[in-house]
Structures are given as structure tokens and as C-alpha cells.
Structure 1
Amino acid sequence: MPSRTGPARAVPEEALGPDRIVAAAMDVADAEGLAGLSMRRIATALGVAPMALYRHVSDKDDLVVRMLDAAMGEWRAPVDVAGGWRPRLDGGVRALWAAFRRHPWMAQALSVTRPQAIPAGMAYSEWVLATLDGQRVEAVEAFDIHLTLINYVRGAAAVLEPERDAEAASGLDNEAWLAEQEPGLAALVGSGRFPLLQRMVTTDYDLDVDALFERGLLLLLDGLAVQFDRIADASRTAAPPWAR
């Protein structure tokens, strides 16, 4: 797939710095994925020797963390949102999804089990925890909720880069590919063993990643609403009569 970085134009040494390198690396990763990202590839995009990059970033791992920080830095908290925790989380998570949409490589690069030190990511985490702070949830539970939400976004976005690569390799978008697979799939489920799946095969189902994200987010927020109501009910029950 051709890169959006355009033809290489040499960057003067005095103009080459971490921000310039990160921006070029993000352009490469946005267009070609993490698999296409290398120090040599970035140097080519900038028109400099590869060793020039190492004066500003330690290595590729350091560069990817900087890229994640820049991408997460595009996230903006929703402002002037009334109605409590739910519209705030709804707007904040949607804004995070938009960042993952713009940069499909983020889903692969961001680790939940071995989190990178990303200041912009910490700012997002702090905002989510502040949003949950008034819901009488323990600190550990609040952090679990935060991780569940960010991991949901990351998981939903995990299909973006592979789908782009598959489309580039096959020349078919997901709808065209699914249409080609439909006869074989119909034959497979037509045995009667999978009646509900068979019903879906004969339904005009449109697999839309954004719509799927929307439905999943709705279910997660509905579940949180139930949980918070239970906590509030338990708190009222435990309070002495004069304090209810």
C-alpha cells in the first residue's frame, strides 16, 4: 500500500527532532501499519540517514511509546456535558474510539497487561477515574471499570489494521469478501445443525464496525448503570433511618 508520507525530502539536521520523527513515524504507521514501521523506513520518509534518528529517540520501542503518547494526546474530554457519569463516559469513550479509528496501529501497539508510560494516556485514565469518583465505587473497582472500557475500545479496534491489510492484499472490502463467502457458508450451516446461524446467513446483515462498537458501548454503559444503582440502593439500605 502506498504511504501517505509522500516523496522524501531531506530534513535539515537542525530541524530534526523527536516531534518531527514521531509525526513521520505516525504517517508511516497510519498508511502501512506497524509491520511497515522501521527506523530505516522513517529515515527514508524524512530523507535522512537512519543513524540520525538515534540522536533523538533511543530505539523503535521508544519511538512507538512516543507515537502512542502523541495519538492519545489527540483525545479531548467532552465539555459542557450535563447528566452525570453516563454522558461523560459515553462522550469520552467515543472520542477515544475516534483516535483508534484514525490510527489503526494503536490497537496492536497499546498494551493493557504491560502498560507503557504514556502521559497522555494517564490523563485519559485520570479523567475516567474522576468521572467515576462520585459513584461510591472502590478505587480498585473504578480502575477495573476504566480498564474494561479502554480494553473494549482496543479490542473493537483490533480488526481495523488487519482488515485494511486484507483489503489491500485481496482488492475486496469486507462486504465484497463476505458476499463471495456466502454460498460456502450457507452450505456449511444448511445441514440443520445450526438453525440460528442459518437464519443469520439468510438475513441481510451488514457487518459495520462502527455500529458494532456503538452497540457494545451501549451494553457496557447499561451494565454500569445497573451496578451503580445497586451500590446506591445498598448504601441507602445501610444508612440509619434518620440519614435516608
Structure 2
Amino acid sequence: MTGRRAADRLGASAIADAAIALADAEGVEAVSMRRVGAALGVSGMALYRHVGDRDDLVRRMVARIAVELPHVPAGEVGWRETLEHLATTEWTAFERHRWLVDVAVSPSRLVDATSAPETETVLARLVAAGCPPDRAGDVFLGTAALVIGIARVTLGPPSGTAPGTGASRPVEYAADHPGGGAPVEETLTARFRGEPFDAGRGRRLLEVALGSYLDGVAHSLHPRDR
């Protein structure tokens, strides 16, 4: 009876919160109806009163995070500041929830995490700046894709998994040793390869890449006199 009363008190938000906590600790692969139910003190079957299946649960996890993110700044804000804020907010979400990039790897998934009114605001600000309506969506999507790509490269696994595996170790190619000689230690390539792929480097990459990307957008909106 106790389990039934607990199940009756459950809601989709509480279930999503428990699933997010599990994913933050162990990765999204650890999320199952059984594990989430156990964390809430009920059977996995009890969750089906509130969520359709695991895919539905993952979507609710993304939506739960999205509603807490101020994607679009209010007030009289220009298109560039809007996209900078959007990118920074999404990056912060990826840093807090390392698994999120695995379920948002499709740019459309990440854009869907932005509400319809916020999406309308972003597109309207771009159009007001001179961006054609049919291109404004591409600019918006490009910003999201930029964040996703850098997050995929630089952000590590969730806190409950082993860090520093795989991507940070460069592959040795025969071409790295021309003529069979030893590589020169102090080179730009050695320095580049020696830097860790971590959140700090990711933030620097995002700043550089986003700035260049938005400069290109600005140039297309206000082309220089030729």
C-alpha cells in the first residue's frame, strides 16, 4: 500500500528530476524505468502512469532542463547579444549535465528545447536586423550546432564515469616522424596536442568560434561597400 501511495504522489516533473540526477551521476545510459523507480521508492511499472516509455522520459528530462534556462534575454536586445546569450546558456547546460549532449546531438533536438515564443523572438530579432526570414532559421540553427559540436569534442563524461579516456590521446601516424627520425618536442603541433580537451578549453573554443561565426553573420547583414 505504501508503494501505491508513493506512486500516486508522483508526477512527471518528479520523475524527470530523479532521472536527471541519475544521468548526472552515471550517464544517460544508466537511466531506466527500473532505476528511476527505485530512486523514487516505487516499481518501474509505476512510472508508466506518468510517462510513456524511456524515450518519453528522456524527452521530459530535456524539457525539464530547458524550462529552467533563460534562453533569450528580455528587453531591447540586438540579434548578436541574443545569440551570444543563447549559446552561453546552452553551453552552461552541457557543462552541468554532461549527458545532455548525447541526447541533443541532433541540432533540431537542441532547438526544440527552446520554447516557441523564445524561438520566435530570436528569429524576429534576426529579421529586424535585415536577415531574410528563410535564412534566419539557418543562423539560429548554426549557433546551436556550433555549441553542440564543441561540447561533443571537449566535454568529458559524467562525474560517475572514468575521465580522461580516448579523445585526449593523439594517434601516432608514420607521417609524424618523417625519415624515421624523432619528432621535435617543442613545436606548435606538440603544444596543441598537449593541451587537454576539457571544459576550460571548450569555453575558449566557443568564444573564438562563436565570435568568428557571428562576425560572418554581421557581414552578411551589413555588407561593406565594394
Q: CA deviation at 1:222?
A: 1.2
Q: CA deviation at 1:149?
A: 0.8
Q: 1:103 to 1:113 in 2, by over 3 A?
A: closer
The residue aligned with 2:143 is 149
Instruction: Judge conservation of contact 1:39–1:53 (CA < 8 Å) in 2.
Output: yes
Q: 1:109 to 1:53 in 2, by over 3 A?
A: same
CA displacement 1:29-49 (0-9 Å, x = unmatched): 122111111111111111111
**Structure with higher RCO (Cα < 8 A, 6+ apart):** 2
The residue aligned with 1:200 is 189
SS of corresponding position for 1:168? coil
CA displacement 1:173-199 (0-9 Å, x = unmatched): 47xx95xx57x859862427999x953
Q: CA deviation at 1:131?
A: 2.1
Q: 1:114 to 1:128 in 2, by over 3 A?
A: closer
> Cα RMSD (Å) of the superposition?
3.6
Task: Specify which of 13, 16, 19 is matched with residue 19 of structure 1.
Answer: 13
Q: 1:192 to 1:25 in 2, by over 3 A?
A: farther
Q: CA deviation at 1:50?
A: 0.7
Q: CA deviation at 1:127?
A: 2.8
Percent identity, aligned pairs only? Answer: 31
SS of corresponding position for 1:154? helix
Q: CA deviation at 1:224?
A: 0.9
Question: 1:227 corresponds to which letter in structure 2?
Answer: S
Task: Specify which of 60, 68, 73 is matched with residue 66 of structure 1.
Answer: 60
The residue aligned with 2:218 is 225
TM-score by length of 2: 0.78
Q: 1:127 to 1:28 in 2, by over 3 A?
A: farther
CA displacement 1:132-178 (0-9 Å, x = unmatched): 121222222001111111111122222466x2269933xx547xx95
Give the unaligned 5+ runs of structure 1: 1-9, 235-244
Give the unaligned 5+ runs of structure 2: none
SS of corresponding position for 1:126? helix
Alpha-carbon separation, structure 1, partners of 2:75 and 2:100: 28
Task: Specify which of 186, 199, 202 is matched with residue 209 of structure 1.
Answer: 202
TM-score by length of 1: 0.72
SS of corresponding position for 1:158? helix
Instruction: Judge conservation of contact 1:89–1:131 (CA < 8 Å) in 2.
Output: no
Q: CA deviation at 1:72?
A: 1.5
Alpha-carbon separation, structure 2, partners of 1:153 and 1:233: 32
Instruction: Judge conservation of contact 2:126–2:136 (CA < 8 Å) in 1.
Output: yes
